[in-house]
Each structure stands twice: as C-alpha cells, then as structure tokens.
Amino acid sequence: MERMAQGRSAVYPSHSAAIKGYLVRLRPIQEEDLPLVLQWRNSAEVRKYLLNDEPIPPEAHQQWFESLEKDNRKRVFLIVSREERPLGLVQLFAIDRENGHAEWGFYVADPELRRAGFGAEAEYLILCCAFDELGLQRVYCCTLASNQPVLALHERFGFRREGVLRRHICRGNRYEDLVMMGILREEFEEVRPRLETILRSIADRQGGQQL
C-alpha cells in the first residue's frame, strides 16, 4: 500500500493516486470514464441537485477533462466500489494552497445506492485528501436547501452552516436558498475517530474487507 499519514489507519492512506477505504476507493478520473460520467451528469436524478443543472454537451465535457491535466486547483475522482463498480464522482476544486482552503462536491449516481454508505465514505476520504495530503485548513461546499439528506450528512461529518444565500438558485418557476457549509481541520480531527468507527461498522455489516 502507498505511503500513509503518520499515525493513521492503514486503510486510509493519505498520499496516493487512488485513495482506498473500506467500502470504496477514489481513483483519478480517466478518459475512458467520460461517456459514463457524462451520462450521470446529464441524468435528471443528478442534475436536480447540482447548482448548474443545464445538460453538458459532449464537446464541453471533453474540454473539461482535458483542462484537468493543467489545472492544479482541481482533484477529480471516480467513486468505485470494492467490486470495481463505478458509483459516482467526487472532487475538490478552487483549491487555494496559499490561503489553505478548497470547495468540494460529490454525487452517487444511482438513487438506490445513496443510503448504502458509499457517499459517506467518499466524503470522509476526500476530507482526508484535503487535510492530510494537501494540508488545507478549511473545506467548504454549497448545497441546495431542499437537499436535506446531504445537509444532514455534512453536519454529521462536522460541517457547520456558515450562511444562507436566499433565493439564490432558480429551479423552474421557484427559487431555492443555497446553504454555505464549511469545516476546519481541527473540527474534522475531532470527529475523525468516530467517523472511521461508523464506516468500519457499515463495511462489516456488508461483509466488506479492506481494499
């Protein structure tokens, strides 16, 4: 297994191309993933939770991927199950090394799998990447106020509500509030042991083994 953060569990290495957990691993997106990711991104089930819900044309999708190689302000990963089944996408973006912060976002594409613990572990692993590998001080995100399950998930991970942009996003004939959430390095460290215990328990119930 690749290099690990000092004092961390072997199942959560901090410095590696692929970030491995109990239920999933995060691996850098590859060109052969693009058709599937575009299908996910343009599906109604995913778009309704995104801040930009416009369908993406294939040409723009390809250009986005090609730009990643030159953009050190982004880390984009595919969420993959133990059985190598692609599940969704997670990313850090607007990475600001000088000021020590980044924004993040994710989705699990299949609605039937959103309560299976995959998204929760992806959130844990991307925070490990942000704080351990990149050495950031703060990670933040923006979530639609109507997306209550994800807001609750973030709060269980130690995120705090930092503000609300009222009527910020238009969806059809209605406007939605946008909730700003953030977590500091020390806040993550406080909840980290509890989160890993929970994730290990979920994996055990599913008969999971370390990747």
**Residue 170, domain member (yes or no):** yes
pTM for the predicted model, two decimal places: 0.88
Higher pLDDT, 209 or 111: 111
**Residue 6, domain member (yes or no):** no
**Residue 184, domain member (yes or no):** yes
Higher pLDDT, 66 or 209: 66
Q: Residue 34's domain spans which residues? A: 19-205
**Residue 211, domain member (yes or no):** no
Residue 198 predicted with pLDDT over 50 = yes
Q: What's the average model confidence in pLDDT over 128-133?
A: 96
**What is the tally of structural domains in the chain?**
1
Q: In this predicted structure, what is the pLDDT of residue 15?
A: 38
pLDDT band at residue 8 under the 50/70/90 scheme: very low
**Residue 3, domain member (yes or no):** no
**Residue 171, domain member (yes or no):** yes
Q: Which residue has the tokens 């191309």?
A: 17
Would you say 182 and 161 are in contact if contact means Cβ atoms under 8 Å apart?
no
How many Cα atoms within 13 Å fall on the side-chain side of residue 84? 1
Tell me the CATH number at 198. Answer: 3.40.630.30
Packing angle, helices 118-128 and 148-156, rounded to 10: 50
Q: What's the average model confidence in pLDDT over 95-122?
A: 94
pLDDT band at residue 207 under the 50/70/90 scheme: low
Lowest mean per-residue pLDDT among 13-17, 42-46, 53-57: 13-17
Distance from C-alpha of 85 to C-alpha of 73, rounded to nearest angstrom: 27
Task: Give the list of residues 6+ apart from residue 99 with CB closer than 8 angstroms, or none.
Answer: none
| Percentage of the chain lying above the pLDDT 70 cut | 90
Q: In this predicted structure, what is the pLDDT of residue 203?
A: 87
The overall average pLDDT reported for the chain is 89
Higher pLDDT, 18 or 125: 125
pLDDT band at residue 177 under the 50/70/90 scheme: very high
Q: In this predicted structure, what is the pLDDT of residue 111?
A: 87
Q: What's the average model confidence in pLDDT over 115-133?
A: 94
Residue 166 predicted with pLDDT over 70 = yes
Would you say 181 and 162 are in contact if contact means Cβ atoms under 8 Å apart?
yes
Q: In this predicted structure, what is the pLDDT of residue 129?
A: 96
Q: Which residue has the tokens 């250009």?
A: 63
Q: In this predicted structure, what is the pLDDT of residue 139?
A: 98
Q: In this predicted structure, what is the pLDDT of residue 210?
A: 38
**Residue 5, domain member (yes or no):** no
| Percentage of the chain lying above the pLDDT 90 cut | 81
